[in-house]
């Protein structure tokens, strides 16, 4: 089957002004020698010692990049700008949920803040290689904290500010953090989310945490343990916080951060990324695919707690010397034109968001958008899940006024940078993610390991290593091998299904494993199930994703109740609240079925396919492996 969809051709002026105009030539060149391509890109950044080897694949699939080189991502994201006129341009514009609250930082000021936070961490005994857990909302301090860790060679582990205490506890313990950086609370639609209280519950049983740094944000009352907790603004007054702080030069392969993400089991995976390759990957892809220039005002709406926030809110734009815009609030509070108002007011040029946000805003109608002058926009972007053609067209026609290319970016926490996307000079197909990035090749495979021809759906794999690939799973190299490299030796298994069309454009269908994307958030069904069975009323539970008009997927749970419990509206509400409390409000199930029995194979595996068919009222298909 070929795809007879619309194709949007970019305007000649976009092609002429882009970093990458002749994309076909560059694609061919990078394909012929990916390692040489990446070496050329790496030369755009500073290294205090050059590499001996660009790619060391001797221990594959534990690939190493730029071995022997010394660098630090902060040298490139902050320090090098200080020696140029860029030192006085804005690095960060921050607007609170209450949009009267605005804080701005030039590169010079950003550096001062990062030095201060780094000095504090050093005074607390944080050393190279130590992991620091960061549990902060979308406020400037999350930039300072991440960059401060990187600056002194410590490893940050950012935990999304919506996770609950058990999930946070699991991530703190897994990384053995001695220091946690948090805030008193965060604003969500006018209400305070009690972050400090969640941290208190999370660290109660953490054997490793010695210090908790608390940023004052919502000014709410919080309990402070005088032996463990410190207000950040008080620490900043101390002599320990003052003075210069050198950026430590680290090995290119030294870890920069770990980031937990959901997989097929209840235990989240801690993805490891390094300084050298990650900076090359994020710098290059943002430059090519969003044509980012230093005069751009770049707004990525993702939370820094996810990979999109790491790569394309914090590191990528700063590496490119752009101005980053960050907003604490969501898309519809207090009115559904808050975001459009901000684009107009701050002259945003590049706007990168998620299909779920677009679909949410679309429902409020065009008038909210048309009220605002969005003519500063020159490029739009999408990430997190497939964008349906209808949402694509609305984004393109209404938000972009028909003149901005949309860069749909397919990638993962594991890949660190875009893998399948477009550059602005390429023709666009609404609903297709695009082509493998320069230096990458992708294929679609069948169960037996054969590459499938164009048009056929199968398992999406990536063929070439790339600089910002994860290096391993923290303290779990075997799981790294099993999850990503075992099914098709030599090929990276993405976990997604896709098809490739005749023109080489890739259409992503969705996850093939027990991971669901709900409003762009990655949630493991096993995490939801283990949260459910920790409730006394639940004997057994199975969670699946069902298509949802706005969220992309919704979470549907089939539950066997414990003896003595009956299904009721109240119980459903209790179970939803329970999942929100032990895992996260983002993982709240949308619907429940209460049953006596779950469909299982003879070996005891839940047949999710059958649950899905039942929930959707479809044919249950082949039931020969069902246990009875």
The contact set with ligand 6R9 (CB under 6 A) reads 261, 306-308, 382-386, 408-413, 433, 494-496, 508, 511, 517, 522
Alpha-carbon distance 526 to 540, whole Å?
12
Alpha-carbon distance 565 to 214, whole Å?
42
Alpha-carbon distance 202 to 206, whole Å?
7
Alpha-carbon distance 605 to 288, whole Å?
45
Alpha-carbon distance 81 to 97, whole Å?
29
Contact 284, 277 (CB under 8 A): no
Q: Give the list of residues 6+ apart from residue 443 with CB closer than 8 angstroms, or none.
A: 451, 452, 460, 461, 463, 491, 500
Q: Give the 3-state secondary structure of residue 428.
A: strand
Nearer to ligand 6R9, 271 or 399 (CB): 271
Contact 135, 199 (CB under 8 A): yes
Nearer to ligand 6R9, 276 or 386 (CB): 386
Nearer to ligand 6R9, 72 or 409 (CB): 409
Question: CB of residue 519 vs ligand 6R9: minimum separation in angstroms?
Answer: 11
Backbone angles phi, psi at 348, to 5 degrees: -65, 135
The DSSP secondary-structure symbol of 474 reads: T
Q: Which residue is nearest to ligand 6R9 (CB)?
A: 413
Please report which helix (H) or strand (E) contains residue 113, including its range. helix 107-123
The number of angstroms, rounded, from the C-alpha of 170 to the middle of its chain's C-alpha atoms is: 19
Cis peptide leading into 495, omega within 30 of 0? no
Question: CB of residue 405 vs ligand 6R9: minimum separation in angstroms?
Answer: 15
Nearer to ligand 6R9, 296 or 385 (CB): 385
Nearer to ligand 6R9, 132 or 432 (CB): 432
Nearer to ligand 6R9, 517 or 535 (CB): 517
Alpha-carbon distance 45 to 278, whole Å?
12
Question: CB of residue 394 vs ligand 6R9: minimum separation in angstroms?
Answer: 17
Beta strands in 62-117 (DSSP E): 64-67, 70-71, 90-95, 102-106
Question: CB of residue 507 vs ligand 6R9: minimum separation in angstroms?
Answer: 9
Nearer to ligand 6R9, 255 or 520 (CB): 520
Alpha-carbon distance 108 to 604, whole Å?
60
Backbone angles phi, psi at 345, to 5 degrees: -65, -40
Alpha-carbon distance 366 to 395, whole Å?
10
Question: CB of residue 498 vs ligand 6R9: minimum separation in angstroms?
Answer: 9
Nearer to ligand 6R9, 51 or 438 (CB): 438
Q: Give the 3-state secondary structure of residue 14.
A: helix
Alpha-carbon distance 200 to 197, whole Å?
5
Question: CB of residue 312 vs ligand 6R9: minimum separation in angstroms?
Answer: 9
Question: CB of residue 317 vs ligand 6R9: minimum separation in angstroms?
Answer: 16
Question: CB of residue 257 vs ligand 6R9: minimum separation in angstroms?
Answer: 14
Question: CB of residue 119 vs ligand 6R9: minimum separation in angstroms?
Answer: 33
Nearer to ligand 6R9, 199 or 426 (CB): 426
Question: CB of residue 263 vs ligand 6R9: minimum separation in angstroms?
Answer: 10
Residue 9 CB-density burial (10 A; 0-12 exposed, 13-18 middle, 19+ buried): exposed
Question: CB of residue 478 vs ligand 6R9: minimum separation in angstroms?
Answer: 21
Alpha-carbon distance 204 to 212, whole Å?
12
Nearer to ligand 6R9, 34 or 384 (CB): 384
Question: CB of residue 5 vs ligand 6R9: minimum separation in angstroms?
Answer: 15
Alpha-carbon distance 624 to 399, whole Å?
50
What is the per-residue DSSP string for 379-423? EEEEESSPPPHHHHHHIIIIISTT-S-EEEEB--TTT-S--EE--
Question: CB of residue 185 vs ligand 6R9: minimum separation in angstroms?
Answer: 25
Question: CB of residue 618 vs ligand 6R9: minimum separation in angstroms?
Answer: 22
Cis peptide leading into 102, omega within 30 of 0? no
Nearer to ligand 6R9, 144 or 394 (CB): 394
Nearer to ligand 6R9, 426 or 575 (CB): 426
Nearer to ligand 6R9, 148 or 506 (CB): 506
Nearer to ligand 6R9, 174 or 599 (CB): 174
Q: Give the list of residues 6+ apart from residue 56 with CB closer than 8 angstroms, or none.
A: 63, 64, 65, 67
Question: CB of residue 88 vs ligand 6R9: minimum separation in angstroms?
Answer: 33
Half-sphere exposure of 379 (CA within 13 A, CB side): 31
Within 10 A of 517 (CB to CB), how many other CB atoms are there?
22
Nearer to ligand 6R9, 391 or 399 (CB): 391
Contact 573, 586 (CB under 8 A): no
């Amino acid at each position: 089957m070929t795809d007879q969809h619309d194709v949007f051709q970019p305007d000649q002026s976009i092609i002429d002004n882009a970093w990458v105009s002749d994309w076909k030539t560059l694609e061919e060149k990078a394909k012929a020698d990916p390692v040489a391509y990446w070496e050329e890109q790496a030369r755009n950044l500073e290294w205090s010692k050059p590499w001996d080897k660009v790619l060391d694949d001797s221990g594959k699939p534990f690939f190493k990049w730029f071995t022997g080189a010394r660098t630090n991502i902060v040298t490139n994201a902050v320090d090098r700008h200080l020696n140029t006129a860029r030192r006085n341009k804005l690095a960060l514009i921050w607007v609170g949920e209450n949009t009267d609250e605005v804080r701005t930082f030039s590169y010079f000021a950003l550096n001062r803040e990062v030095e201060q936070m780094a000095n504090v961490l050093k005074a607390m005994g944080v050393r190279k290689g130590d992991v620091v857990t960061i549990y902060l909302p979308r406020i400037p301090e999350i930039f300072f904290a991440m960059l401060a860790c990187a600056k002194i060679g410590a490893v940050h582990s950012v935990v999304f500010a919506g996770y609950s205490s058990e999930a946070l506890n699991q991530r703190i313990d897994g990384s053995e953090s001695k220091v946690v950086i948090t805030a008193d609370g965060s604003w969500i639609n006018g209400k305070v989310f009690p972050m400090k209280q969640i941290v208190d519950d999370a660290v109660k049983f953490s054997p490793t945490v010695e210090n908790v740094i608390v940023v004052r944000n919502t000014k709410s009352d919080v309990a402070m343990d005088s032996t463990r907790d410190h207000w950040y603004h008080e620490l900043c007054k101390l002599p320990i916080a003052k003075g210069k702080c050198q950026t430590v030069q680290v090995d290119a392969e030294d870890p920069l951060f770990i980031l937990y993400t959901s997989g097929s089991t209840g235990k989240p995976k801690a993805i490891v990324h390094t300084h050298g390759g990650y900076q090359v990957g994020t710098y290059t892809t943002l430059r090519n695919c969003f044509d980012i220039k230093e005069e751009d005002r770049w707004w990525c709406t993702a939370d820094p707690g996810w990979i999109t926030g790491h790569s394309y809110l914090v590191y990528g734009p700063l590496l490119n010397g752009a101005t980053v815009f960050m907003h604490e609030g969501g898309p519809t509070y207090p009115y559904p034109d808050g975001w459009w108002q901000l684009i107009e007011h701050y002259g945003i040029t590049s706007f990168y968001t998620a299909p779920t946000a677009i679909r949410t805003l679309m429902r409020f109608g065009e008038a909210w958008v048309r009220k605002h002058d969005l003519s500063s926009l020159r490029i739009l972007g999408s990430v997190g899940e497939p964008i349906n053609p209808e949402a694509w067209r609305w984004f393109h026609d209404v938000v972009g006024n028909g003149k901005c290319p949309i860069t749909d970016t397919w990638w993962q926490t594991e890949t660190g940078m875009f893998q399948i996307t477009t550059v602005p000079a390429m023709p666009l197909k609404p609903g297709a993610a695009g082509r493998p990035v320069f230096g990458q090749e992708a294929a679609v495979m069948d169960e037996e390991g054969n590459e499938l021809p164009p048009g056929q759906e199968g398992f999406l794999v990536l063929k070439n290593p790339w600089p910002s690939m994860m290096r391993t799973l923290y303290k779990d190299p075997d799981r790294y091998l099993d999850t990503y490299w075992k099914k098709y030796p030599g090929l990276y298994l993405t976990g997604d299904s896709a098809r490739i069309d005749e023109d080489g454009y890739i259409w992503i269908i969705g996850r093939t494993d027990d991971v669901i994307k709900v409003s762009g958030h990655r949630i493991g069904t096993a995490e939801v199930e283990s949260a459910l069975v920790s409730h006394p009323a639940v004997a057994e539970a199975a969670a699946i994703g069902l298509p949802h008009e706005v969220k992309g997927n919704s979470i549907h749970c089939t539950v066997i109740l414990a003896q003595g419990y009956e299904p009721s509206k109240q119980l459903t509400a209790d179970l939803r609240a329970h999942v929100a409390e032990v895992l996260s409000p983002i993982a709240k199930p949308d619907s429940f079925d209460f049953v006596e029995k779950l469909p299982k194979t003879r070996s005891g595996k839940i047949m999710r396919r059958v649950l899905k068919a039942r929930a959707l009222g479809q044919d249950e298909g082949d039931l020969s492996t069902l246990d009875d």
